[in-house]
Structure 1
Amino acid sequence: MPIDALLFDKDGTLFDFADTWGAFGRNMLLRLSDGDHDRARVLGRVIGFDLDQVTYSEDSIVIAGTVEEVAETLAPHLAEMPRDALIDLLNAESASAPQAQAVPLTPFLDGLREAGLKLGVATNDGEAPALEHLASAGIRDHFDFVAGYDSGHGFKPGPGQLLAFAAHVNLPPERVAMVGDSLHDLQAGRAAGMTTIGVLTGLAPAEVLQPMADVVLPNIGHIPEWLTRN
């Protein structure tokens, strides 16, 4: 069946993961440790982040986890901080993180909309930070649907967000493609019965994504050509 809609992950897909979230990780950990670099390094190891190299491990909870999952991982090491306050701090740091576009997003999305495609975002970030990130890039109005882990549809790798998007744009799931940089994204796409497109602007290499992907592309900019050929 033809693909009439694209649902994008946000971090590592619309926005390059390493260029965007390295500074977030460093700033967040130093804030949590009151500027103590040694303690920040310890907290970094807990979430799979190297403070000195400003890099994430491939299995870091930050890559595909929700804000609440990151908070739950950190909480045993921050006994003095209430869980709600920790989540609020993570959301605030996330919302203010400068976003590095994977490709120039406005012309890319304009082209997709001109081709008649419905567009959405499904992220394991919170909905409010996600909307702020899209607005900061000037692309909020390009999307018919935006869902975070806290929007009421569940979170990836579950298919809830994806099925909610398909229903919102009144399309069967098999006419929607899920685009993402992590196995969580692609597993959610498979569970929803959608085409799955992997991209390499996150931390997962092609060989990790390929078993769950109908195609793996260098970045989202290659999608229009792939759609034309297929």
Structure 2
Amino acid sequence: MTAAKAIAGILFDKDGTLLDYAKSWVPVNYELARIAAKGDEALARTLLAAGGMDADTGHVLPDSLLAAGNTVEIATGFVGAGAPFTVAELTTLLDGLFARSAEYAVPVTDLGAFFAGLHAKGYRLGVASSDNERSIRETAKRFGFEDYLHYVAGYDSGYGVKPEPGMVLGFCAATGLEPQQVVVVGDNNHDMHMGRSAGVGMTVAVLTGTGSRQSLAAASDHCLSDITELEAVL
């Protein structure tokens, strides 16, 4: 980790980081399993289990398919577990569901004010998510922080997928920063490993997603309760 004074850019994950994962995505996971199972309740439960979610409690395992996978990965896993679609068909259906889900998302804090404050301090700001780019932009628009973003990358934006370094390197190219000047903030190890593989100055984990202090400890420089504690480590 480099000196905190070197940090000039912040690249956030979306789900579980800006948005409360349990409140925002557990209901969506039930719906995506229903869609993938074509309404077959038993199959839907099987698909949720394959994705790492307990159908009874709603608990999602850290770094599981539903916690960290992109749409193509989820669709591939579900088809492999018995969903009666092709991967391409299911990817299209799930991407549509995920884009609509922005309407029901629950933010961790007032994201408009949060991003405005960081922007006023001169930070370059971006969002890199395993969700599709449309969904990220819909979320930013709904919660009033779209005007503060210098960069947006989804799994379908052409920068590669997590935990590869491409989304971070794209952020650096868009902002003129070096990786050592960037902090990656996320809720699972895909985010942390993406940051480490890109050579960022700092990796910060938050506990508003599916990860725990124990699961995130090895790959993060700091582990915070939520993003409102971020400025204290910057």
3-state SS, counterpart of residue 127 of structure 2: strand
In structure 2, the gaps of 5 or more residues are: none
1:143 aligns with 2:175: no
Greater displacement, 40-49 / 194-203? 40-49
Q: How many residues are matched?
A: 227
Paired letter, 1:93: L
TM-score by length of 2: 0.92
Alignment partner, residue 213 of structure 1:
220
Q: Is the 8 A contact 2:62 2:212 kept in 1?
A: no
Alignment partner, residue 92 of structure 1:
96
CA shift at 1:79, angstroms?
A: 5.8
Alignment partner, residue 7 of structure 1:
11
* Counterpart Cα distance in 2 of 1:180 and 1:130: 15
2:167 to 140, 150, 161: 161
Q: In the TM superposition, what are the counterparts of 1:42-191 in structure 2 within 5 Å?
A: 42-78=46-82, 80-97=84-101, 98-191=104-197
Q: Is the 8 A contact 2:18 2:107 kept in 1?
A: yes
* Counterpart Cα distance in 2 of 1:38 and 1:218: 36
* Counterpart Cα distance in 2 of 1:193 and 1:80: 41
Paired letter, 2:10: L
* Counterpart Cα distance in 1 of 2:63 and 2:121: 37
TM-score by length of 1: 0.93
Shift in CA distance, 180/59, structure 1 to aligned 2, threshold 3 Å: closer
Q: Is the 8 A contact 1:99 1:137 kept in 2?
A: no
3-state SS, counterpart of residue 217 of structure 2: helix
Shift in CA distance, 79/44, structure 1 to aligned 2, threshold 3 Å: closer
Q: Is the 8 A contact 1:210 1:216 kept in 2?
A: yes
Report percent identity of matched pairs: 36
Paired letter, 2:55: L
Q: Is the 8 A contact 2:187 2:205 kept in 1?
A: yes
1:29 to 27, 30, 33: 33
Alignment partner, residue 192 of structure 1:
198
Alignment partner, residue 210 of structure 2:
203
Provide Cα deviations, 1:46-97, integer angstroms capped at 9, x if missing partner. 2122223223223420111111010110113446423221001111111122
Please identify runs of 4+ aligned residues in structure 1 that moved more than 3 A.
77-80
* Counterpart Cα distance in 1 of 2:83 and 2:162: 28
CA shift at 1:131, angstroms?
A: 1.5
3-state SS, counterpart of residue 166 of structure 1: helix
In structure 1, the gaps of 5 or more residues are: none
CA shift at 1:217, angstroms?
A: 0.9
Alignment RMSD (CA, Å): 1.5
Q: Is the 8 A contact 1:197 1:215 kept in 2?
A: yes
